[in-house]
Structure 1
Amino acid sequence: MPERKSRKDAVRNREAVLAAADALFAHRESPEDVTMADIAVAAGVGKGTLFRAFGDRAGLLRAMYESRLEPVREAIEVGPPPLGPGTPPRQRVPALLDAVLCFKLDNRRLALALEESGSGSPYQAEHYERWHGLLKDVLEQIPHLTDSDFTAHALLAATRADLIEHLAGQERVPREKARAQLANFAAKVLASGPLEGSTDDE
């Protein structure tokens, strides 16, 4: 009985921490303004509880990201078109990119904080490898499209959190315009053939 109670307490504390962190990130100007101490106070838990549950600040950010991403991941893995696995690759690639863009627009500060936690490079963040691998696999299904590995990197570069923050925050680009711009960019990349002299066996 005590073990079950402690497990319930741990789950309740985790949920309280994620909710408190969500609220703090939503209302602070910069992700760096939110400290572990701030989150512990807002959640009503001790700092020790926070570090035991998440390890460190990066661990907490990853937990928040994964929690919010779950509905998108489910749609990608088992959902219907245009995100689901039955979608033709030329339609699925822009749909995947749009899902990344919309997710980061909805979670701008969190995405920025998480990407900046990977030694200053979004490419070292854990979630990046997953997005890149998924996009690369879909790109490989498109005939005559060469170097799917690099193409996946290039397309995902257009969804970097710092770029989205600049466009949405500083330049005030409307959401639908940003989505249309990314869709047009993806369409041009997918429509282009290999350059003269390039090979498929690299």
Structure 2
Amino acid sequence: MLYAGSMSALPPPFPPSQEPDTTPHLLEVGSGPDERCLRADAARNRARLLEAAALLIAEHGAAGVTMEAVAAAAGVGKGTVFRRFGDRTGLLSALLDHSAKKLQADFLGGPPPLGPGAPPVERLRAFGLAVLYRSVEQLDLQLAAQPEPARRFAHPSYGALHTHVTMLLRQIRPDADCDLLARTLLASLDPALINHLTRQCGMPMERLEKAWLDLVARVAGTGE
């Protein structure tokens, strides 16, 4: 689930005298009217295809996932896979949808500190760590399914994360340009950067975790 509203732009930061409305409004992620109206059998077929693709990734990595391989693993024709997902990128993006929805459900309504009920600084700390470890666990998939540059930051999944971080920042630093600051924070959690730091530079996860907590402390002015 994600917040309703524009994913490409948010209103300017609220002045200190104005209390922002931080009540989340929910809508479906990655699902248009077609998705919501899927017949039960079509939904089951889609779930079977995604399960087959997930098993292929577990066995062979994202590079081993082709439309033909998924069709064979699911016992359907190749045309069925193309009709359901369009192309390989669409299939990989659909695989990411489930974990994206789980993450969004956790920060929208799960237990604190990731979910509501904790101070915004604690929630921002927990959010970054959740995104960081999710990215590492699904790094090959995230890199393979990443939208082209022209659509990357307009993707609904990115929009949901950006809206959430902006909401937290407006509570922490209402005098800041929270829209742009949220994008800067999310850039430090980019899968391509995490791939470079962990696999090419050999940085341990503990260092990345500590860096995120330090970044949040500096943004929040807590000095922790």
Give the alignment's TM-score, normalised by structure 2: 0.72
For 1:121 and 1:26, locate their aligned partners in 2 and report how far apart those are by CA, in whole Å: 27
1:175 aligned onto 2:172: no
Describe how 1:130-141 pairs up with structure 2 within 5 A.
Answer: 130-141=160-171
Which residue pairs with 1:198 in the alignment?
Answer: none
What is the number of residues matched between the two proteins? 185
Amino acid of the residue matched to residue 78 of structure 1? Answer: G
Pick from 36, 54, 65: which aligns with 1:22?
Answer: 54
Helix, strand or coil: the match of 2:100? helix
Q: Return the offset for 1:176.
A: 2.7
Match of 1:83 in 2: 114
Query: What's the offset of the Cα at 1:33?
Result: 5.4
C-alpha distance in 2 between matches for 1:143 and 1:156: 16
Q: Equivalents in 2 of 1:121, 1:169: separation in Å?
A: 26
Range 70-79 or range 105-114, more displaced: 70-79
Report what 2:71 is aligned to.
40
TM-score by structure 1 length? 0.79
Q: Do the aligned partners of 2:56 and 2:64 also contact (CA within 8 Å) in 1?
A: no
Choose 72-81 or 126-135, whichever is displaced more: 72-81
Of 122, 125, 141, the residue aligned with 1:110 is: 141
Tell me if structure 2 keeps the 8 A contact 1:122–1:160. no
In the TM superposition, what whole-angstrom CA distance separates every residue of 1:93-119 from its partner, at most 9, and x where no partner exists?
12111111111111111111222x334
Give the structure with the larger helix fraction: 1
- Cα offset, 1:65, TM superposition: 0.9
Give 3-state SS (helix, strand or coil) of 1:173's partner: coil
Contact residue 139 and residue 145 of structure 1 kept, 8 A: no
In 2, the alpha carbon distance for the partners of 1:120 and 1:147 equals 24
Q: CA deviation at 1:84?
A: 1.1
Structure 1 stretches of 5 or more lacking a match?
A: 1-6, 193-202
Q: 2: distance between equivalents of 1:75 and 1:129?
A: 16
Q: State the match for 2:14 in structure 1.
A: none
* 1:159 to 2:189 alignment: yes
AA in 1 matched with 2:101: E
Aligned-partner Cα distance in 1 for 2:118–2:84:
38
The answer (yes or no) to whether the contact 1:20–1:43 under 8 Å persists in 2 is yes
Percent identity, aligned pairs only, is 39
How far residue 32 of structure 1 moved from its aligned partner, in angstroms, is: 5.2
Residue type of the alignment partner of 1:184: D
* Cα distance change, pair 180–130 in 1 and its aligned pair in 2 (3 A): same
Change (3 A) 1:32 1:91: same
Question: Does 1 or 2 have the higher relative contact order (CA < 8 Å, sep 6+)?
Answer: 2
Distance 2:77 2:110 in 1: 40
